[in-house]
Structure 1
Amino acid sequence: MYLSRVRVATEGLDRRALLNLLSGNAYTNHQLLWRLFEDHAERQFLFRQEIETEQVGAEQDPRGLPLFYVLSQSMPTNVPGLLLAETKPFAPELQGGEQLAFRLRANPTIDRKKSGKKNATRHDVLMDAKTQCRRENITDPEEIHARMNDAALQWLHRKSQMAGFTLEGTPQVTGYRQQSIHRKGRDIRFSSIDYEGLLSVASPESFTSSLSQGLGRSKAFGCGLMMIRRP
């Protein structure tokens, strides 16, 4: 695998593409990053959008513009005048019980079956928790917020059991955002939330596989990439 930090040369974008970039349009940005892998017909990368607020190089000042982290199966190829990727191999040597700091932007969902319906309906876990509060006549804003926060944490706990890690303490849950993307004549709605905390590697093999595949849904829209580092 390869981990890249990708900067965008805004002079290589027309006005519409620049506005999409600055507005954080997840699908458009996904299509933009795909240009790093033009030889691939299928998506084989995960990405996370940030903002340049850090020093990004010895002679490069932060511009306050979108910056992307990309995890891919193959090495990206720079697009002159548009995309510049600083790339390094990503092959972490992990040990069972090892602790790591992590950041994850995810799309947490839950499937609910309705009476008389054959297939379950997928819901945003936070909105699902809010709906449950309404059904229980819970109106206190603090309790509703606590229920939504707990639903987000429970989703990550469930994922961790299959993904080869356990959570150490309670992660921070921030940055909840609902998004709507118009694509192929229909609106695609999804939400994202940011997790940050500590984890312990339970199964190095399963955890490495999970890092490669990403966690949760909406991976084409900037969700699922878990960033790790040794604390």
Structure 2
Amino acid sequence: MYLTRFRVNTARSEARRLLGSPHRMHGAVNMSFPVPPTRDGTGPRVLWRVDRDTPAQTLLFIVSPTRPDLTGLVDQAGWPAADEPGWTTYGYEKFLAGLAQGDTWGFRLTANPVHNIHHQYSKPGDPTKRAAHRTPRHQIGWLLERQERAGFAIVEKPLDRRLLPEGDEHELIVRDQQPLQFRRPPAKSGRDDVRITRVTFDGRLRVTDPDLLRRTLTQGLGKAKAYGCGLLTLAPVR
């Protein structure tokens, strides 16, 4: 497994086109691998995420089972004439193997929190429809429902640090909610419009099951993984 960091040159028009279309970025990331890994859910897959921490720096992170070659992405959205290659790839296996129960980490996750609802005039037994969670309260609830199966527990705040009587129990914030609608080439079904809502979670977690967490880190969490959602990354707690 590999973790790759690529700095996007947002001054270039092609870079802005990629950032504005998760479908285009998905294609650009996939072109970095001669043989794209399987997407059937049986093993690690390619996951990616765009972080915009400051106006001057936009970073693309990729987790993948094979080492990518981002030469084409540098030509599209980097600095082709620079002395540096434009991206850095780290071996991920040693880090994954070192995860231990009880460890505490800072984390970031960009995800697509959704739930299934019935149509307004649906009858019992009718199929449900997937809808996005719109409020931070429900988005946090979505993540809390999945933490045990994902191999971690979000750290709870001490009582004296909770600013609200309800909804502020965890070391967790939700930010950068982005309702996205974009087009992709028409599929056989004729549906070519994609609508997702991406949100970013920052917080602290405690490892409860290292094997499950390793699976989450390499296979993603939630829906819309092809479109920049699902990638969970860890960092040392300051």
The alignment's TM-score, normalised by the length of structure 1, stands at 0.77
Q: Whole-Å Cα distance in 2 between the matches of residues 52 and 7 of structure 1?
A: 12
Runs of 4+ in 1 over 6 A off after TM superposition: none
* Candidates 70, 78, 84, aligned match of 1:78: 70
Equivalences for residues 1-231 of structure 1 within 5 A: 1-8=1-8, 17-21=14-18, 23-40=19-36, 42=38, 44-51=45-52, 53=54, 64=56, 66-79=58-71, 82=75, 84-91=86-93, 92=95, 93-114=98-119, 115-116=122-123, 118-126=126-134, 148-169=135-156, 170=170, 171-185=172-186, 186-231=192-237
- Size of the alignment, in residue pairs? 197
CA RMSD of aligned residues (A): 2.3
- Displacement of 1:8 in angstroms is 4.8
Q: Deviations over 1:171-224 (max 9, x none)?
A: 001111100011124211000111111001110000111111111111111111
CA contact (8 A) 1:76 1:85 kept: no
Corresponding residue SS for 2:101: coil
Once residues 225 and 18 of structure 1 are traced to their aligned partners in structure 2, the CA distance between those partners, rounded to angstroms, is 21
Change in CA separation of 1:79 and 1:187 when aligned onto 2, cut-off 3 Å: same
Question: Does the 8 Å contact 1:111/1:120 carry over to 2?
Answer: yes
SS in 1 for 2:32: helix
TM-score normalised per structure 2:
0.75
Question: Gaps (5+ residues) in structure 1?
Answer: 54-62, 127-147
Seq. identity, % = 27
Gaps of 5+ in 2: 40-44, 79-85, 157-169, 187-191
Cα deviation, residue 72, structure 1? 0.4
